[in-house]
């Protein structure tokens, strides 16, 4: 049974697709900067940075990397003037790294945070194929009739709308239309035909 598309919010779909492209640029900026520091960012690293502005995992990995470097130097040449105060120098590097990372992201992100799930981080930053098109967002923002029961309801709904328009002939508002045609029985929780439709002077109340 073929799906029926009732409505597509094209404007929202276009905004979301543009937002996805913007998100990609931010993610690439963060990813490449981390990569430049000597280690490959993991998805969780970038995700925490984007979602929560939490750089703790990235900073810890960076600190470990820098510490390992200086310890190798010390193991090779021993303690010297070159290695004096190395702990504080590493702390300074970590602090500078954090500041630079934060500068890569604005305080208020203009793209939707949920888009992080649309990306792969296996070899750089890329949008997963199934999400990398406007068609995906058009489909996401469409109202569709799917399945036998939904199709049957839609046919009845369409018929009811057509009949209501034929019976009322442009009422002032929806309450006026329903009030003249139907009476809602609070005991049975069902609509009944209103006698007032045929004899206005007779009240069902």
State yes or no: pLDDT of 113 exceeds 60: no
Residue 125 burial (CB count, 10 A): 21
Examine the fold and report which residue of 124, 140, 156 is the final residue of a domain before the chain moves on: 140
CB contact at 8 A, 143 and 26 = no
Contacts of residue 113, Cβ cutoff 8 Å, sequence gap at least 6 = 50, 51
- pLDDT over 90, % of the chain: 24
Domain-located, residue 203: no
Q: Tell me, yes or no, whether 188 and 126 share the same domain.
A: no
Residues 77 and 136 in one domain: yes
Quote the domain boundaries for residue 76.
Answer: 4-140
Determine which of 49-53, 62-66, 166-170, 201-205 has the lowest per-residue pLDDT on average.
Answer: 201-205
Q: What's the rounded mean pLDDT across residues 44-60?
A: 81
- 133/155 same-domain check: no
DSSP code string of 71-103: HHHHHHH-S-TTTTTHHHHHHHHHHHHHHHHHH
More confident residue, 82 or 172: 172
Query: Distances in Å between the alpha carbon of 6 and those of 17, 154, 156?
Result: 21, 10, 15
Least confident of 19-23, 78-82, 103-107, 159-163: 103-107
Residues 122 and 30 both lie in one domain? yes
Whether the predicted pLDDT of 198 surpasses 80: no
What does the alpha-carbon distance between residue 94 and residue 23 come to, in Å, rounded to a whole number? 25
The reply to whether 59 and 119 lie within a common domain is: yes
In a domain, 122, yes or no: yes
Count of structural domains within the chain: 2
So what's the pLDDT on residue 135? Answer: 95
Is 25 found in the same domain as 50? Answer: yes
Q: Are residues 109 and 185 located together in one domain of the fold?
A: no
Task: Specify the higher pLDDT residue, 48 or 150.
Answer: 150
Which pLDDT value is given to residue 200? 63
Helices and strands of the chain, counted as H and E runs: 7, 6
Is position 205 within any domain? no
Contact 119/113 with Cβ under 8 angstroms? Answer: no
The confidence band for 136, taking pLDDT boundaries of 50, 70 and 90, is: very high
133 and 159 belong to one structural domain: no
């Amino acid at each position: 049974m073929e799906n029926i598309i009732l409505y597509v919010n094209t404007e929202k779909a276009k905004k979301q697709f543009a937002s996805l492209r913007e998100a990609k640029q931010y993610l690439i900026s963060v990813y490449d900067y981390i990569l430049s520091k000597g280690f490959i960012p993991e998805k969780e690293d970038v995700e925490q940075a984007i979602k929560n502005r939490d750089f703790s995992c990235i900073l810890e990995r960076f600190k470990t990397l820098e510490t390992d470097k200086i310890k190798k130097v010390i193991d090779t040449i021993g303690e010297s003037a070159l290695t004096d105060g190395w702990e504080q120098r590493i702390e300074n590097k970590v602090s500078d790294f954090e500041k630079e990372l934060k500068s890569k992201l604005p305080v208020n992100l203009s793209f939707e945070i949920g888009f992080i799930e649309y990306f792969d981080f296996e070899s750089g930053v890329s949008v997963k194929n199934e999400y990398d098109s406007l068609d995906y967002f058009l489909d996401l923002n469409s109202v569709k009739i799917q399945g036998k029961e939904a199709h049957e309801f839609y046919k009845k709904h369409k018929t009811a709308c057509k009949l209501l328009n034929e019976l009322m002939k442009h009422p002032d508002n929806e309450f006026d239309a329903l009030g003249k045609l139907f009476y809602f029985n609070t005991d049975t929780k069902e609509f009944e035909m209103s006698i007032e439709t045929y004899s206005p002077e007779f009240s069902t109340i």
